[in-house]
Amino acid sequence: MSAAPVVLVTGATDGIGRETARELAHRGARVVLHGRSASKLAATREAIEQATGGRLPEPVLCDLASLAAVRELAAALTARPERPTVLVHNAGVYMRRFATSPDGFELTMAVNHLAPFLLTHLLLASAGQAIARVVNVSSVAHQRGAVDPDDVGLVRRRFEPYGHYAASKLANVLFTVELARRARGVAVNALHPGVVSTKLLTEGFGMQGGDSLAEGAATSVLLALEPVGARVHGRYFAAGREAQMSPLAADAHLARRFYEASAEAVGVAPLPAADGPE
């Protein structure tokens, strides 16, 4: 019998992330919870353990806005005897006002794209690290996003809350497409979780969603655990099925340029391109 997958879920203390973690644990995964609040992490861990009857690994505390903190997180995860084999990049923010990260990037892009980009590369590069799947929680908003490889951190563009959020979600899908080309043996896919009344939706968009938390978590769980999540690479899913991504996300030249610019921005070496120059 194969060992249970060890799944890191970022942003696991609220909303869709918490429900995703609960369902993964219910299905037997060893779930590593991530959050920014120690008290909320403790409460979430206790609630999931009570609901599933199992013990979870020690959760991890990290502010994803800081690249230094992301590097510390990667080092801590690599040092564990149980290292993550599946990454569910669920954490996200919607900023109503312009703010920058400690590294000088616009905060939406820093948290939603650059943090998971860096964390994934650090874990892939770690000796003996066996990442099998990467699941990037994007949004249908990526269809209206636009990015510029010369301004990965979105600091030169006039700030517009939805525009910056949509750009960060397009970045998630571009990262998915390009990483799938480069990370051999790793299944990398992105998804739209649905329209769920999470804190991000109600406070950021000022609206209510029609989908339940269970529906919002279902596609992440599918791609993290089910066989289909290992068979497909560089795809975008919605409501448990493969869906059409933005034409910009399918632009191989843009994906390559944005990937390489993101690697430079966070200070990691890009993985070798599988197919050579475009």
Active site positions, annotated: 165
Determine how β-strand 187-192 pairs with β-strand 235-238: parallel
- Count Cβ neighbours within 10 Å for each residue of 10-31 and write b for 16 or more, e otherwise: bbbbbbbbbbbbbbbbebebbb
The DSSP symbol for 151 reads G
* Single-letter code of the amino acid located at 175: F
H-only helix segments in the chain: 15-26, 38-52, 67-78, 107-109, 115-125, 161-182, 199, 213-225, 228-231, 252-266
